Amino acid sequence: MEVEEFRRLLVLAEYERITDAAEALQMSQPTLSRLLARAERELGTRLFERDAAGSRPNPNGQLVLAAARDITRRYDQLRGDLATLLDPDIGTVRLAFMNSMATSLVPRILRDFRQEAPRVRVALRQKPGHEILPDLAAGQTELAILSPRPEGPHGWLPLQRQRLVLVVPLGHRLAGRHRVRLDELGDEDFLAAPAGFGFRSLIDDLLTADGVSVRVSFESADLATIEGLVGAGLGVAILPDLFAGSSGTVGVALTADHAERLVGLTWRTDRLLPPAAARLLEFLSRAAPFD
């Protein structure tokens, strides 16, 4: 049975006469009678008792009508919820972002976007970069802020270039330097993200390009935690410059020209973006870069 057929049974129960119900539904009496007969045949039981006084639901009919009320209510709610989600002015966009963007780029984007689209809801999912792409593939998010640029069917909008610096504790032998070469880090205890994380791959590639090998003493998935460990004197780290100085640390420029991280927005190109997500993408296309 279709949703509209359940609605017609509810109208028949309200009027208790096929003639009156058919008139209210603006359909012929034979058509409504055939609908009732088809519903009883499909459900395998008589639903209405017919006599000279009209058609009234029997106990089985009451059970079906209770279900019909629930089905039509839930269907109407679904249509309303979808309309809200798909409205570019009041819909919802699901945005994933790397942990390291939580206190810098993301708040800035949300502040600026709210000024343009105050009624759009942004549902946030904060995750490590390597966990974001599976969520995009599964449709759990529509847009994501991450680094590096992903391969495959993904769009890419550069948002921010972050300069990478050597972060050292106050009083460290390199703290007073203006610039540091990567090959000066060989004897240092090094702090980094775990293997498999995008930022760890970026740092490994940076060091490998200069033929540098380091001794990793501590690993953390959170770049702010790494900066705190450096401040506690547990080693040094290469981090985006925005993290330097938060916990008694100093950021020292690197001589390597390629010492940077490019952060961007990505989305799946093999499916259409919902209107609210498309609106955020369009806004960021105008607002970027955030340098």
> What's the CATH code, domain 3-86?
1.10.10.10
Specify the higher pLDDT residue, 129 or 225: 225
Question: Considering the chain, what percentage of its residues have pLDDT values greater than 70?
Answer: 99
Q: Where are the domains of the chain?
A: 3-86, 92-159+262-287, 162-261
The model carries a pTM of 0.70
The pLDDT tens digits for 77-130 are: 888 777 766 777 878 899 999 988 888 899 999 999 999 999 898 999 998 888
Mean pLDDT over the full length of the chain: 92
What does the chain come to in residues? 291
pLDDT of residue 79: 82
pLDDT of residue 90: 79
What's the fold here for domain 92-159+262-287? D-Maltodextrin-Binding Protein; domain 2 (3.40.190)
Which of 161, 147, 169, 163 lies closest to 246, judged by CA? Answer: 169
Confidence band, pLDDT 50/70/90 cuts, at residue 194: very high
DSSP H or E stretch at residue 226: helix 223-231
Whether 243 has a pLDDT exceeding 80, the answer reads yes
pLDDT of residue 161: 94
Q: How far is CA 83 from the centre of its chain?
A: 19
What's the fold here for domain 162-261? D-Maltodextrin-Binding Protein; domain 2 (3.40.190)
Asked, colleague to colleague, whether 3-86 and 92-159+262-287 share their fold, the answer is no
